[in-house]
Amino acid sequence: MNFALIKNKIRHGSFFVPFRFQIVLLTIVLFAAYYWLKKTSVLPETSYTAIIDLFITVAMAFIAAVFAISFITAVVPWMFFLFNKKRGNISIKVKTASHQNVINEKQQVSININPILPPLLGYIRLRLHYDDENISPKFSLINKQSKTKFFSSSLNGIYNWPLPEIKEYKVSNAIIYFEDMFQFFSFAASLPAQDNFFTQPENNASSELKVQPKKTEDTNTRIDQIRKVEGEFLSYKNFENNDDVRRIVWKIYAKNKELVVRIPETNDPYASHVYFYASYYNALETGLYSDFFTIFLNYYKTMVWNAYRQLSKQNVLIKYIPDQESKTTFADDPLEKIKYIISTSEWQTQKDLHHYFKKEEASVLCISSLIEAKEVENILDRTGKDLVIIFVQISNAFGKMDIKDWVQWIFIKPEEDGLDKLRLMWNISPLKRKITENENKIRAILNKSESEVLVV
């Protein structure tokens, strides 16, 4: 017998119980009060007993009226919803809320349901079934509709969802609750939802970056410093009288009897685009440390996004070069599209720096501590002064624990959540030593480089 499956079914069934704990508790209290009051009426046919009986009758009638009003105001919108659902008239849209600028808004989700009839003076709450087995807690939406609008047949709002990872989530189902003003009744209805949303990196203050465009996609933008453009290995032209005979490709002449010369490098005063490279290559084994690598990924995405965002404010044409496939039609806004690509990227082992990075085009290169120091050294041998390297030390993702923190954890402060537990495990993990040693090697290599280096 699969007890976990039975437990999940019981839990899921409890979501559709049509009444709240408040009404159960109130009913128990009313029965206890009724029994006590009846017991005090020990003298029959007296004015005292008549007053008590009248009081009980009026109180019970009032409570019954309250229950009836609560029931009707909740059940009518629920039945209206079921009627429209059966006819296929209801639509639900779940997406990432845009224009999120502060830290506590980095995981806002926008939800729209139409048509839906809100309970009179009551509430509509929701649960979302996402990523196959996960179900959100019950929540209310922050209404985005105009407050001057008295009645609306749609629900449109946002939810500040504290999800642990910066990634894309898939929503498969929504449970909508219709609750009365006293929250006695809660009628639930499920609604299929095939939508995705993604959580976003938070916006932090980052160091100012000054970069020069290197890639020429148009000749409208002239740069201050003339750059050298190397001739491509397979870029040839026919030999002319004014060409240097030393540049004749004799192998081609021996094969085809044609005199051709390779096009030399030239000085180009134009460059239109800043190419932004960010490598998610992971040279380490994840193994038993998958939770650590999730925290590392969140930290790296935040640093990459803030570096890109800072450059996008400098009125330069910036082009993000991903190292993995991603949807490109998520948003019309170019900045939102790049935010989506960064947010949904994962650590990968297929494309290392050698196969990803192109020094002829790159103006900015972001690397993490998960890249081998030897590979960074090989890349820097092919670069010059006109490259900005952002080195993200992922060991900073957990912060540092000093003696005071250890004393507080042991004697005063218990583990508050999973992140605190991971932080403790990280400080005693062999992985920390391995990553910090690699970071020291990379920093030593970057210190010898001619490129501008930013360590975060």
Express each pLDDT in 409-441 by its tens digit.
554 554 455 566 777 788 888 888 999 999 999
Q: Which of 323-337, 415-429, 440-454 has the lowest mean pLDDT?
A: 415-429
Q: Does residue 348 have a pLDDT over 50?
A: yes
* Dist. CA 188–CA 191, nearest whole Å: 10
What average pLDDT does the structure give for the chain? Answer: 80
Q: Does any domain span residue 73?
A: yes
Using the predicted structure, report yes or no on whether residue 144 has a pLDDT greater than 80.
no
- Residues 243 and 133 both lie in one domain: no
| Residues 320 and 243 reside in one and the same domain | no
pLDDT band at 78 (very low <50, low <70, confident <90, very high): very high
Per-residue b/e over 111-143, b at no fewer than 16 CB within 10 Å? Answer: bbbeebbbbeebbbbbbbbbeeeebbeebebee
pLDDT reading at 327 higher than 60: yes
Give ∠ CA 80-81-83 in degrees, rounded to 5: 65
**Which pLDDT band holds residue 308 (cuts at 50, 70, 90)?**
very high
pLDDT-based confidence at residue 296 (cuts at 50, 70, 90): very high
Asked if residue 244 lies in contact with residue 187, where contact means CB atoms within 8 angstroms, the answer is no
* Whether residues 311 and 243 fall in one domain: no
d(CA 327, CA 168) in angstroms, rounded, equals: 11
How close are the terminal C-alpha atoms of the chain, in Å? 52
Q: How many CB atoms lie within 10 A of CB 96?
A: 22
**194 confidence band (pLDDT: 50, 70, 90):** confident
Residue range 103-132: average pLDDT? 84
In whole angstroms, give the CA distance from residue 262 to residue 193: 59
pLDDT for 29: 86
Report the pLDDT averaged over residues 79-100: 86
- Pair 171, 193: CB distance under 8 Å: yes
In the predicted model, what is the mean pLDDT of residues 164-170? 89
What is the band of 369 on the pLDDT scale with cuts at 50, 70, 90? very high
Same domain, 259 and 390: no
Same domain for 258 and 341? no
Q: Domains in the chain: how many in total?
A: 3
5: helix, strand or coil: helix
Same domain for 251 and 321: no
Domain assignment present for 3: no
* Structural domain boundaries enclosing 322: 222-228+270-455
Q: How far apart are CA 382 and CA 401, in angstroms?
A: 38
Paired with 96 in beta bridges are: 109
For 232-235, the CB contacts below 8 A with 24+ separation are 232/263, 233/262, 235/262, 235/263
Question: Which pLDDT belongs to residue 379?
Answer: 85
pLDDT of residue 366 exceeding 70, the answer is yes
Yes or no: say if 385 and 450 are a contact pair by the CB < 8 Å rule. yes
Q: Is residue 51 part of a domain?
A: yes
pLDDT tops 70 at residue 102:
no
pLDDT of residue 234: 45
The pLDDT score that the predictor gives to residue 443 is 92
Q: Please report the pLDDT score of residue 263 as a whole number.
A: 65
Statement to judge: residues 276 and 246 lie in one domain: no
Q: Bigger pLDDT: 129 or 242?
A: 129
Q: Which residue has the higher pLDDT, 98 or 300?
A: 300
Judge whether residue 402 has pLDDT over 60: no
Burial of 366 from C-beta contacts in 10 A (0-12 / 13-18 / 19+): buried
Is the pLDDT at 198 greater than 80? The verdict is yes
One domain, residues 359 and 307: yes
**How far is residue 241 from each of residues 245, 251, 253, 454, measured CA to CA in Å?**
9, 20, 16, 49
pLDDT of residue 226: 45
Instruction: Name residue 13's amino acid.
Output: G
Query: Are 159 and 109 a contacting pair, CB within 8 Å?
Result: yes
**Least confident interval from 209-218, 266-275, 329-338, 434-443:** 266-275
Residue 214 lies in a domain: no
> Is 1 a domain residue?
no
| 99 vs 74 pLDDT, higher one | 74
pTM of the model: 0.75
Residues 308, 366 contacting (CB under 8 angstroms): no
Tokens of 292: 């650590």
Write down the pLDDT at residue 404. 55
Q: Is residue 187 part of a domain?
A: yes
Helix (H, G, I), strand (E, B) or coil at 97: coil
Among the three residues 264, 283, 317, which one is the final residue of a domain in this structure? 264
pLDDT of 167 > 80? The answer is: yes
Mean pLDDT along residues 230-259: 69
Instruction: Compute the distance between CA of residue 307 and CA of residue 364 in angstroms, rounded to an integer.
Output: 10
Residues 239 and 134 in one domain: no
Give yes or no: residues 247 and 311 share one domain: no
| Cα gap 80→233, rounded to integer Å | 70
215 is a domain residue: no
Q: Say what percent of the chain tops pLDDT 70.
A: 78
Tokens of residue 378, six digits: 């090989």
Among the ranges given (13-27, 221-235, 237-251, 291-305), the one the predictor scored with the smallest mean pLDDT: 221-235
124, 250: one domain = no
Contact 390, 367 (CB under 8 A): yes
Q: Which position has the higher pLDDT, 342 or 147?
A: 342
The pLDDT score that the predictor gives to residue 328 is: 57
Q: Are both 183 and 330 inside the same structural domain?
A: no
Identify whether 57 is part of a domain: yes
**Which whole number is the average pLDDT over 154-182?**
90
